Chain A
């Protein structure tokens, strides 16, 4: 029996066990949407295509599966670019399906035509422009395989409308064979033994754990390694959650927005073990100075990351879960006791002191986040926007399990947090999902409140409102002699009023003593809720 190309795409998605997709229809993707009516797959209509891409991202990170987003050609497709780039920088598995104008019209600048495979080339792991409907099942299969294996990333499939209407015989293969794509999963045994050796010899070891740890689902093996060897850990922004933030060996996040103890450890270690991290500039600004003092072990699935930003003494390429499992068989307790005690002291000495009383006019966001961490269970998922709210959350919220802290690390995309929270809540309906936001970021995606309303997605939103673009303001204060420009948002809308317009509840608090009561109210049910906190514009990021 023959089916249409559009039906074939839907069927292929079903074969990939896709249960939810995020999208926005338009002319050139209409055949697909027509075929989707007859499927059990849930479609969530966002209010902007960028929201669909970010929601698919949040869904992927909360569920550990491939996020799917579907949009139309032209502006629909170009609106996903920021979402695709965000997923690419953070190595998030995603399949983006875009409609395209009819094959015979490509290149003639017809209505809503955009070269989306060309435009997204720098930000996709791979992309397809479908030339023949009979290729559709193979291409969808390959796209999911490429997106989710090796170093994950977004894959785009651009499908001309006429291809969606062609009839084909549907045949779905179980396996994929791409000769140019064979990710190496198993680490070199000899190299792993060298790593074990280095750990056993080290007096001052430290592990820097990145987002790759979460993508590889290696947290169990990681915990065993860390506790068995007694090695302190500092997560990157993307690595938060790999070890509970309140674990005694967790020093806190490293880098320019990280904590003292973590940076002290990196700069004074004799062995730095980098796991699934790419040594980005915000994590280590001068990596080769670190490498001068310490032996560097770098374990990553992407060979191109080895030696890219830091000179490495012992590289291992492969899947972290497998490699750590093997590594654990070679190691014992390290000789790092003194060092661990020293770092614990540093952590205590340099922890940010917060006066719980605060002032009567402002909420202290750091204090609020530490209270929030005490009040929520370990299944709770936090997403963040970008700016001060993100760093406050990274350093003060306590992430207790992998996937519980979702943030745009590499790209630093404002407007990510709310749609990502929608995606996360869709993937984990039984978890509380809280979007931590600033007044600037929130306004970049606030139209997605409509998505929450229509699809009954109970995301909780925390807005730290300082009527400023706080992080840019701080940069202008420090680097530009307090010559403030274009960072003032004094004409912010009534955020609670906006929530109420959608039929949601919310309230505003202005001082620390109302925090507990307000959080309790926010967390008491599963409905959308806004807690707006008025924050001092002078409140520093760190």
Chain B
């Protein structure tokens, strides 16, 4: 078992996301995270899916996704050859006694403070899953009020890119 990242180019149309998500539940595949957004081509959206499973599962997921008419292309991204990020917003308790300490922690993580109030700080962090988890762990001691995080997005390193047009489905 392990985590696998799939980049899926789809037609930017209503109903596509539900087809993709429905396929996962129907076939009994587990999704760790799913992130979707439009690409440089406004007619194409890119879904990044992190799947939990062995090689058989990843192969089946890719093949079944490929069968969806709205799916244009799928590529599995290798962790060593790609950059992946997720974004989290964390609202944490902060009073005059703890505020400066938290700001130091945030500085170490190169995260940003995006909102402040008399008794809270809201922190924005982007990074790999591990980094976000590490900051969360550090902030627990102050009392986390709320966390919201996106799914992972990922892009290949170097001169490689995934385009809808350059060739057929892989």
Taking beta carbons and an 8 Å cutoff, which residues of A are in contact with B? 117-118, 121-122, 125-126, 129, 146, 178-182, 302-304, 307-308
Asked if B164 contacts A118 (CB within 8 A), the reply is no
Asked if B26 contacts A122 (CB within 8 A), the reply is yes
Asked if B59 contacts A125 (CB within 8 A), the reply is no
Asked if B15 contacts A117 (CB within 8 A), the reply is yes
**Contact residue among B15, B26, B73, B168 (Cβ-Cβ distance under 8 Å from A129):** B15
Asked if B69 contacts A303 (CB within 8 A), the reply is no
Asked if A179 contacts B66 (CB within 8 A), the reply is no
- Which of B19, B22, B26, B64: most chain A CB closer than 10 A? B19
Binary contact readout B7-22 vs A (1 if CB under 8 angstroms, 0 otherwise):
0001100010011001
B contact residues around A178 at 8 Å (CB): 69
Asked if B164 contacts A179 (CB within 8 A), the reply is yes
Asked if B67 contacts A304 (CB within 8 A), the reply is yes
Asked if B69 contacts A304 (CB within 8 A), the reply is no
18 more contacts with CB within 8 A, not counting A117-B15, A126-B69, A180-B10, are A121-B22, A122-B22, A125-B69, A126-B68, A178-B69, A179-B72, A179-B164, A179-B165, A180-B69, A180-B73, A180-B169, A181-B69, A182-B168, A182-B169, A304-B60, A304-B64, A307-B56, A308-B60
**B105, chain A: closest CB distance, angstroms:** 46
Closest residue of chain B to A131, judged by CB? B14
Asked if B59 contacts A307 (CB within 8 A), the reply is yes
CA A26 – CA B26 in complex, angstroms?
Answer: 32
Task: Say whether B70 faces chain A, with CB atoms less than 8 Å apart.
Answer: yes
A contact residues around B72 at 8 Å (CB): 179-180
Task: Say whether B71 faces chain A, with CB atoms less than 8 Å apart.
Answer: yes
Asked if A303 contacts B68 (CB within 8 A), the reply is no
Q: Which of B123-170 contact A (CB under 8 A)?
A: 164-165, 168-169
Task: Say whether B75 faces chain A, with CB atoms less than 8 Å apart.
Answer: no
Task: Say whether B63 faces chain A, with CB atoms less than 8 Å apart.
Answer: yes
**B167, chain A: closest CB distance, angstroms:** 10
Closest residue of chain B to A117, judged by CB? B15
A contact residues around B73 at 8 Å (CB): 180
B contact residues around A129 at 8 Å (CB): 15
Asked if A304 contacts B66 (CB within 8 A), the reply is yes
Asked if A180 contacts B22 (CB within 8 A), the reply is no
A contact residues around B66 at 8 Å (CB): 303-304
**Contact residue among A117, A179, A180 (Cβ-Cβ distance under 8 Å from B68):** A180
Binary contact readout B42-67 vs A (1 if CB under 8 angstroms, 0 otherwise):
00000000000000100110011011
Closest residue of chain B to A311, judged by CB? B56
CA A159 – CA B10 in complex, angstroms?
Answer: 23
**A268, chain B: closest CB distance, angstroms:** 27
B contact residues around A117 at 8 Å (CB): 15
A contact residues around B64 at 8 Å (CB): 304
**A346, chain B: closest CB distance, angstroms:** 35
**Contact residue among A118, A180, A303, A308 (Cβ-Cβ distance under 8 Å from B70):** A180
CA A180 – CA B70 in complex, angstroms?
Answer: 6
CA A146 – CA B64 in complex, angstroms?
Answer: 16
**B115, chain A: closest CB distance, angstroms:** 35
Closest residue of chain B to A125, judged by CB? B69
The 10 closest A-B pairs by CB, nearest first: A304-B63, A126-B69, A180-B72, A181-B69, A122-B26, A121-B22, A180-B71, A180-B69, A182-B168, A179-B72
A contact residues around B71 at 8 Å (CB): 180
A contact residues around B56 at 8 Å (CB): 307
CA A118 – CA B164 in complex, angstroms?
Answer: 26
CA A308 – CA B28 in complex, angstroms?
Answer: 13
Closest residue of chain B to A305, judged by CB? B63
Closest residue of chain A to B60, judged by CB? A308
Closest residue of chain B to A155, judged by CB? B69
A contact residues around B68 at 8 Å (CB): 126, 180
B contact residues around A179 at 8 Å (CB): 72, 164-165
- Given the known inter-chain contacts A126-B69, A304-B67, please indicate yes or no for A121 contacting B59, CB distance below 8 A: no
CA A307 – CA B63 in complex, angstroms?
Answer: 10
29 contacts between A and B (CB under 8 A): A118-B18, A121-B18, A121-B19, A122-B22, A125-B69, A126-B68, A146-B69, A178-B69, A179-B72, A179-B165, A180-B10, A180-B11, A180-B68, A180-B69, A180-B70, A180-B73, A180-B169, A181-B69, A182-B169, A302-B67, A303-B63, A304-B60, A304-B63, A304-B64, A304-B66, A304-B67, A307-B56, A308-B60, A308-B63
CA A178 – CA B66 in complex, angstroms?
Answer: 13
A contact residues around B168 at 8 Å (CB): 182
CA A182 – CA B73 in complex, angstroms?
Answer: 11
CA A181 – CA B73 in complex, angstroms?
Answer: 10
**A140, chain B: closest CB distance, angstroms:** 15
**B36, chain A: closest CB distance, angstroms:** 16
CA A178 – CA B168 in complex, angstroms?
Answer: 11
Closest residue of chain A to B165, judged by CB? A179
Q: Which of B55-96 contact A (CB under 8 A)?
A: 56, 59-60, 63-64, 66-73
Closest residue of chain B to A146, judged by CB? B69
**A308, chain B: closest CB distance, angstroms:** 7
**A176, chain B: closest CB distance, angstroms:** 11
Closest residue of chain B to A150, judged by CB? B67
**B43, chain A: closest CB distance, angstroms:** 10
B contact residues around A126 at 8 Å (CB): 68-69
CA A304 – CA B72 in complex, angstroms?
Answer: 16
